[in-house]
Amino acid sequence: MEVLTFLNEENVLLPKHLDMIWRLCENKHEADLAAIYSTIIELAKILPEKNLDLIFTWITALPFENYTELTITLLRDFSLNATASLNSSIHDK
């Protein structure tokens, strides 16, 4: 996570990198998926709005019939962190 934070701070964490992280989720065991989702949830605290929107689009594109407890946790925690991050950035301006 430290490397991703650094890349984001230097404005070099690009959508293509986020796409690579997201694609890691494909056909993964639940434990691996939980670790990837955890990273995405933590990234929501620091990413700019355009990248948050991109990830949210990917999350909401997941078929509802495939939702698991992990998916719901991802959606909830990502949304909470993204909202807090956006509210914080608004108050910092």
Contact present, 45 and 84 (Cβ < 8 Å): yes
- pLDDT tens for 38-77 read 999 999 999 999 999 999 999 999 999 999 999 999 999 9
| Separation CA 82–CA 76 (nearest Å) | 10
Of the candidates 74, 11, 91, 92, the one whose C-alpha atom is nearest the C-alpha of residue 47 is 11
| Residue 88, pLDDT score | 80
Of the candidates 1, 91, 83, the one whose C-alpha atom is nearest the C-alpha of residue 37 is 1
Model-level pTM greater than 0.95? no
Contact present, 45 and 85 (Cβ < 8 Å): yes
Phi, psi of 45 (to 5 degrees): -75, -20
- pLDDT tens for 10-39 read 999 999 999 999 999 999 999 999 999 999
